[in-house]
């Protein structure tokens, strides 16, 4: 095991132009979509993009930048597997839902289209496929061969992150995706999130209780702050399980309260609502207002 090396500058600045190009490209594409495509697709009088969607996009871009640029990227790749775990947490559980919530339905349909890609999204962006996909990605990204290769080969690390992020977008599609027809009911969303929180238990336990070094690549690096490889593995396993669980269960609690409040309001108004997320209380209120303002249908005069 390599001990900490004196004089090692763990926070030395390292430029990542490929990351900057990616981030700038996403911003340019977003501006083009809103200013050029939006006016051609969205009916006049309707919002091309809402303030809430703008907020999620800005937040998602900031978290993505923190995830893939210096110093997070360099510490995760060169020194600490626990930092690598934080990076994957952000790229799988935080950034994808923020980007999906930032995407208007018209933009998703315009970009993805109804061809092969659109059919793939509609086939895979459903509860059973997303659970299987998340389980497969979780296991593969903790396989020693994959981890060691991603640390040692720069282009493979980049490709792995793109693949992880793409699969994560599909995983979050039934929960907060821009396609109303793919949104699961609120109870099913809670069940999906619960399953997603349980899946990492196996690799997290494996990392936490391992008595030997699992990833040789991190055993060759200088020990940042004197943290041993085994302690680093244990911290990574604990973070994977605890941070992911609390984060996802927090979202489950939020969905549960929203589901309960919506049904309580609908019950008070005497309206029966479905479990579909696409039917919000705003939809119910709009329908009630329409019924109240609609003129009564003419009645026939009584026959003599």
**DSSP-derived secondary structure for 175-190:** HH-S-GGGPPBHHHHH
* 126 contact partners, CB below 8 Å, separation of at least 6: 173, 174, 182
Average pLDDT over every residue of 78-99: 95
Indicate the pLDDT class of residue 11, thresholds 50, 70 and 90.
Answer: confident
Which residue from 159, 164, 154 is spatially nearest to 93, judged by alpha carbons?
Answer: 164
pTM of this prediction? Answer: 0.85
Tokens of 214: 């699992």
Checking if the pLDDT of 268 tops 90, the result is no
Provide the pLDDT for residue 157: 85
* Model pLDDT, residue 34: 95
Q: What is the pLDDT of residue 276?
A: 54
Cα separation, 99 vs 110, whole angstroms = 16
| pLDDT (average), residues 138-156 | 89
Question: Could you identify the residue written with the tokens 């929960």?
Answer: 175
Q: What percent of the chain has pLDDT over 90?
A: 66
pLDDT tier for residue 293 given thresholds of 50, 70 and 90: low
Which range has the worst mean pLDDT, 56-65, 128-137, 182-191, 265-274?
265-274
Band of pLDDT at residue 7, cut at 50, 70 and 90:
low
- 98 is written with which tokens? 């923020």
Q: What is the pLDDT of residue 288?
A: 45
Nearest CA-CA partner of 39 in 107, 108, 111: 107
Q: Quick one: pLDDT at residue 32?
A: 96
Number of helices (H) and strands (E), helices first, in the chain? 16, 0
The gap between the terminal CA atoms of the chain, to the nearest Å, is 104
What is residue 274's predicted lDDT score, i.e. its pLDDT? Answer: 64
The residue-averaged pLDDT of 250-258 equals 95
Q: Check pLDDT > 90 for residue 219.
A: no
Hey, which of 30-34, 205-209, 213-217, 272-276 has the most confident mean pLDDT? Answer: 30-34
Question: Among 57-61, 75-79, 150-154, 300-304, where is mean pLDDT lowest?
Answer: 300-304
State the pLDDT at residue 1: 35
Rg (alpha carbons) of the chain, rounded to whole number: 24
Structure tokens at 140: 């593969």
How deeply is 215 buried, as exposed, middle or buried, from its count of CB atoms within 10 A (0-12, 13-18, 19+)?
A: buried
Residue 34 to residue 304: CA distance in whole angstroms: 64
Distance CA 81, CA 177 (A): 31
Q: How far apart are CA 15 and CA 70, in angstroms?
A: 7
Residue 58 structure tokens: 């800005």
- In this predicted structure, the answer to whether residue 143 has a pLDDT above a threshold of 60 is yes
What is the C-alpha separation between 256 and 211, in angstroms, rounded?
A: 40
């Amino acid at each position: 095991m390599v001990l900490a090396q004196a004089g090692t500058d763990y926070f030395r600045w390292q430029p990542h132009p490929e990351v900057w190009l990616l981030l700038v490209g996403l911003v340019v594409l977003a501006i083009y979509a809103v200013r050029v495509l939006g006016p051609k697709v969205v009916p006049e009088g309707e919002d091309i993009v809402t303030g809430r969607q703008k907020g999620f996009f800005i937040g998602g871009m900031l978290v993505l930048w923190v995830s893939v640029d210096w110093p997070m990227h360099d510490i995760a790749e060169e020194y600490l597997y626990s930092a690598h775990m934080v990076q994957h947490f952000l790229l799988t559980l935080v950034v994808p839902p923020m980007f999906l919530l930032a995407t208007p339905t018209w933009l998703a349909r315009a970009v993805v289209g109804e061809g092969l890609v659109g059919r793939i999204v509609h086939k895979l962006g459903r509860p059973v496929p997303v659970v299987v996909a998340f389980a497969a990605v979780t296991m593969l990204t903790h396989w020693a061969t994959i981890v060691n290769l991603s640390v040692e080969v720069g282009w493979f690390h980049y490709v792995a992150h793109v693949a992880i992020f793409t699969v994560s977008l599909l995983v979050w599609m039934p929960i907060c995706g821009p396609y109303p027809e793919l949104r699961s009911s609120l109870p099913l969303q809670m069940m999906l999130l619960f399953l997603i929180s349980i899946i990492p238990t196996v690799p997290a336990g494996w990392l936490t209780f391992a008595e030997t070094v699992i990833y040789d690549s991190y055993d060759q690096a200088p020990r940042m702050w004197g943290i041993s490889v085994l302690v680093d593995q244990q911290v990574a396993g604990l973070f994977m399980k605890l941070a992911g669980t609390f984060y996802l269960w927090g979202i489950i609690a939020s969905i549960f309260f929203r589901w309960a409040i919506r049904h309580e309001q609908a019950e008070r108004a005497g309206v029966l609502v479905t479990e579909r997320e696409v039917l919000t209380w705003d939809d119910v209120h709009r329908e009630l207002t329409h019924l109240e303002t609609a003129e009564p249908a003419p009645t026939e005069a009584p026959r003599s």
